[in-house]
Structure 1
Amino acid sequence: MGTWGIGSFENDGAADFLIDVLDSGDLSLIREVLDNVLTSTEYVEAPDAVLAIVAAEVVAAARGRATLAAQQEEGLADWLARIRPTVDDDLRQQAGSALRRILAEHSELRELWEDTEDFQDWQAAVTDLAQQVRA
């Protein structure tokens, strides 16, 4: 996985997934990746976590709480305006729960970031996203 920054969209997996989301006509992909994180047994794999972070970004943006990272993603605002997805409370809670699992122990993505000097910045960015999802 090519990663060029701490941001939610700053890696190959996230960029590819966002393209898939923007090509879709609903939130089914978002629900699927959040479910993958929430139903993983004991350990959240990094690729699943990367996609779930993007999914949470879409959830927050759809609720009018877009992070700066989401605001800078070309095409996301247009997709939201075109699709007009409705985020129910269940989806919002799933996004928040997925982010909590990603930030907690037994998260490969967290472990990977812990081994870098950017861990605190990454953790702060994901925590900020979680706040936007909850708001």
Structure 2
Amino acid sequence: MGTWGIGPFDNDTAMDFADALDEAAEGERDALVRAALVRTVPPRGRLEYVEHLEGTEAVAAAALVAAQCPGDEPIDTSYWPDQALPAFATDLRSLAVEALDRVVADASELAELWDEAPGGTKWRQDVRRLRAVLAPEPEPQDALFDL
């Protein structure tokens, strides 16, 4: 699997994805991130198995989208894309959430591999954290009136 850590860019596949983003023309980077997410989200009504390479790219793409959301903590890695990324459209957030949900589901090779690895629990926590940044829970209405 070429993995040396649990972070979204701590593996060969994600590092290659970051390199592809760096090599792409500025106007193509948004489409590459979107494509990485779309590959894990099957058409409605179809359940498809997510291969680990696609899942790994989807987690990296979701991390890039989450990095532009309020409340995200910076990811400390030297493997992040070096070139500037566009401001992603807000619809990528919901697509990234769907992709992350598929990556941790039963029909995911990446989830299976992490479930067998010592860092699997921490990896799932990190994916949940990314998901929470992308789709934060709204504050209860009662909290607005607590003083």
Gaps of 5+ in 2: 137-147
- For 1:10-29, what aligned pairs fall within 5 Å after superposition? 10-24=10-24, 25=26, 26-29=29-32
Bigger helix fraction:
1
Structure 2 distance, partners of 1:28, 1:73, is: 23
C-alpha contact 1:67 1:132 (8 A) present in aligned 2: no
Give the equivalent residue in structure 2 for 1:48: 54
TM-score (norm 2): 0.78
Encode CA deviations 1:2-56: one digit per residue, 9 max, x unaligned: 1101111110001110111133313110011111000274211100000000100
Q: What fraction of aligned residue pairs are identical, expressed as a percent?
A: 35
Count of residues in correspondence between the two structures: 130
- Secondary structure of residue in 1 paired with 2:8: coil
CA offset at residue 64 of structure 1?
4.7
Encode CA deviations 1:31-88: one digit per residue, 9 max, x unaligned: 111110002742111000000001001111133554442x5346647614xxxx2333
- For 1:29-44, what aligned pairs fall within 5 Å after superposition? 29-39=32-42, 41-44=47-50
C-alpha contact 1:57 1:67 (8 A) present in aligned 2: no
Give the equivalent residue in structure 2 for 1:5: 5
Tell me which structure has the larger Cα radius of gyration.
2
TM-score (norm 1): 0.84
